[in-house]
Chain A
Amino acid sequence: MTTSNNSLIQLNNFSYQYPHTANNALKSINLSLKKGSFVGFAGPTGAGKTTLIKSINGIVPHFEGGTFSGEVLLNGKAADTMSTAEIGRSVGTVLDDPEAQIICLDVEQELVFGMENYGVPPAEMEQRMQKALASVGIAHLLGRSTASLSGGQKQRLAIAAALAMLPEVLVLDEPTSELDPLGSEEVFRVLKQLHQEQGMTILVTEQKTDLLARYCDQLVILREGEMVLSGTPREVFQHPDIFELGVALPEVTELARRYYPQAEPPITLDEGVQFCRNVIQTFGG
């Protein structure tokens, strides 16, 4: 309620402690995200990435309990004054395990589940369903049973199910952790497309930092519940301290920084190729 600006999501000095634990899982987080951002969160295991995502969709503190201080604001409204279901109207959630978040037996019912809960008029559902499926490129799967889908298809269905509720922001917790490289790329391409074509705000945690480097506009590094770095992927991966933070760098970045510490490191494969060319030319010339 303090500074009313145009942030979609704002965390002011937010700290949170799970019940029956000794330490804060999140420590004084200050974060302000505008509509239309594509933000990645990375950090070693136990850093608090999942907890941060859960604080935004209301699972923390409503579902988990525990104690918090500071505030999480969604469109300027304090999240702890809203129920999880209420938050779900504007925040769509995708979890890491495709098995655990598919609720219904067939694709159609899975998409309709959220809309029914929110009282969407039945006449409107059909069209929203088609659009959501098309957005993630699985329009042909309507009518299939959810058990028969591959992991990547299940994750895209989970995204579509969230989209059908017309959220303002999509939060995803390691959406590719159960997927192979192809499936992971598939999911991120869908996210990028949603971001570019529909201006969707996207918050995603991810271990595979090369994906974050290529797709995100902003990258936040967490460690032991603290926000330790934030900026564009380039700023973050080129930061002098990044090696100490326990984050796996994209392979090209890691190699370049190891062997040519003084040069500006590449962060994507394409840049890596260019980087190698330059190196060869420098040595050749």
Chain B
Amino acid sequence: MARVIEYIYRDSIIHQLNPLSKLAWALGVMVLALTFNDPYYLLALLISVGLVGLTGRVMKDLSGVMKGLSIFALILVLLQVVFYHGAYREAVTLGIAMGLRMMTVVLSFLVFLSTTQYKDIILVLTEKMKLPYDYVFMFMTSLRFVPTFLNEAIQVGYAQQVRGCPIDSGNPWRKMKAYIAVALPLVLISLKKAERLAIAMETRGYGSNNRTYYKEPIISTLDYFVIFLVVVLIIGAIILRCKGLGVLH
């Protein structure tokens, strides 16, 4: 679980792509996933995302997360079945579509994040997309802290257990209280961490106004091709959708 959104160093064609085209791809996948609700279309989309992940040689590292996601998707299907007012078949189809959609979108972003160095992501978001540097940096930093945070959650959990905090007891009420006991020190730790990081950043000139950039990732012909492909696919999807294909009512 420790490496949910970390950059995974591999030598692959996906890694070499410009972050901008990978971001365009991930956003394109999201648009496609939202355009259709036919499970077959969504399944095809998920498989294509999986193939991109395989090309990037990161699927093995993401398999743990994907397992968790499929369980979550299954729960989505079950919830649909229980709470949907309508035909049973319809409910199942809708639930499956929702589950697939969620898995597709999440997987595409995981592939993007694990094949792109975070400094390059920052660069593209600030320089090319013209988003404010402060927000981009804060967002990326918070992502960066997720693995540390999970580790700490485990450790704080141990610390509380040692003190007799009943995290694994059966009673849900007691369990919830125990989790709050874990969450509180966690929030304190992360606040302290964020403050220290902010201090470290400020003493190193963060917030001065005349930044330069060391290396800017290049845009290759392949990148133009990827971006072109994404645009074509989105236009194609919109046409299909207008014709009523890939959508169930």
Contact string against A for B residues 190-213, beta-carbon threshold 8 Å, 1 for contact and 0 otherwise: 000100111111111111101111
Is B208's CB under 8 angstroms from A118's CB?
Answer: yes
Interface residues on A, range: 35 or more
Nearest CB in chain A to that of B212: its residue: A119
CB of A263 within 8 Å of the partner chain: no
B7 at the interface (CB under 8 A from A): yes
CB distance from B208 to the nearest CB of A (A): 5
**Would you call A88 and B204 a contact (CB within 8 A)?**
yes
Are A85 and B196 interface neighbours, CB within 8 A?
Answer: no
Cβ distance B114 to chain A, nearest Cβ, rounded Å: 12
- The answer to whether A88 and B214 have CB atoms under 8 Å apart is no
* 7 tightest A-B CB contacts, nearest first: A117-B205, A100-B196, A119-B210, A93-B203, A114-B204, A101-B200, A112-B214
Residues of B within 8 A of A (CB): 6-7, 9, 117-119, 141, 144, 193, 196-208, 210-215
7 contacts between A and B (CB under 8 A): A87-B203, A93-B204, A104-B118, A105-B144, A119-B212, A122-B212, A145-B9
Pair A105/B199 contact, Cβ less than 8 Å: no
Asked if A138 is at the interface of the complex by the 8 Å CB criterion, the answer is no
The reply to whether B205 and A85 contact each other, CB–CB distance below 8 Å, is yes
Residue of A nearest to B209 (CB): A119
Q: Identify A122's interface contact among B193, B208, B214, CB under 8 A.
A: B214
Please tell me if the beta carbons of A117 and B206 are within 8 angstroms of each other in the complex.
Answer: yes
- Shortest beta-carbon distance, A46 to chain B, in Å? 18
- Docked complex: A102-128 residues within 8 A CB-CB of B: 102-106, 108-109, 112-122, 125
What's the Cα separation between A100 and B6 when bound, in Å? 18
Q: How far is the CA of A92 from the CA of B212 in the complex (A)?
A: 19
Interface residues of A in 50-74 (CB under 8 A from B): 57-59, 63
B229 to chain A, nearest CB (A): 30
Minimum CB–CB distance from B44 to chain A (whole Å) comes to 34
CB distance from B203 to the nearest CB of A (A): 4
Q: How far is the CB of A212 from chain B (nearest CB, A)?
A: 23
CB contacts (< 8 Å) of B7 on chain A: these are 105
- Residues of A close to B200: CB separation below 8 A: 93, 95, 100-103
Return the contact of A119 from the options B196, B203, B208 (Cβ within 8 A): B208
Q: Are A116 and B213 in contact (CB under 8 A)?
A: yes
Q: Which B residues touch A84, using CB under 8 A?
A: 202-203, 207
Q: Which residue of A lies closest to B120 (CB)?
A: A109
Closest CB in chain B relative to A72 CB, distance in Å: 15
Residues of B within 8 A of A116 (CB): 211-214
- CB neighbours of A97 from chain B (8 A): 196
Asked if A221 is an interface residue, CB under 8 A from chain B, the answer is no
Question: In the complex the two chains form, what is the Cα distance from A162 to B203 in whole Å?
Answer: 9
Using Cβ atoms and an 8 Å threshold, which residues of chain A touch B141?
Answer: 103
Cα distance A87–B207 in the bound complex, in angstroms: 12
Measured between beta carbons, the chain B residues less than 8 angstroms from A109 are 117, 119, 214
A165 near B201 (CB under 8 angstroms)? no
Interface check A89, CB cutoff 8 A: yes
Bound form: Cα–Cα A89–B208 in Å: 10
Query: A161 at the A/B interface (Cβ < 8 Å)?
Result: yes
Which residues from B are CB-within-8-Å of A101?
196-197, 200
Pairwise interchain contact A115-B214, C-beta atoms closer than 8 A: yes
Across the interface, do A95 and B196 meet the contact criterion of CB distance under 8 Å?
yes
Q: Could you tell me the distance in whole angstroms from the C-beta of A73 to the nearest C-beta in chain B? A: 18
The verdict on A95 contacting B202 (CB below 8 Å), with A106-B117, A117-B208 known, is no
CA distance A165 to B202 in the complex (A): 13
B117, B193, B197, B214: most-surrounded residue (chain A CB, <10 A): B214
CA distance A103 to B144 in the complex (A): 10
Residue with the greatest number of chain A CB neighbours at <10 A, chosen from B200, B205, B211: B205
A121 to B214, CA, bound (A): 8
Q: A100 vs B199: C-alpha distance in the bound complex, in angstroms?
A: 9
Q: Told that A106-B117, A113-B204 touch, could you supply 17 new A-B pairs with CB distance under 8 A?
A: A58-B203, A84-B207, A85-B205, A88-B205, A89-B205, A103-B197, A105-B6, A105-B118, A105-B119, A109-B117, A115-B212, A116-B212, A116-B213, A119-B208, A121-B212, A161-B204, A162-B204
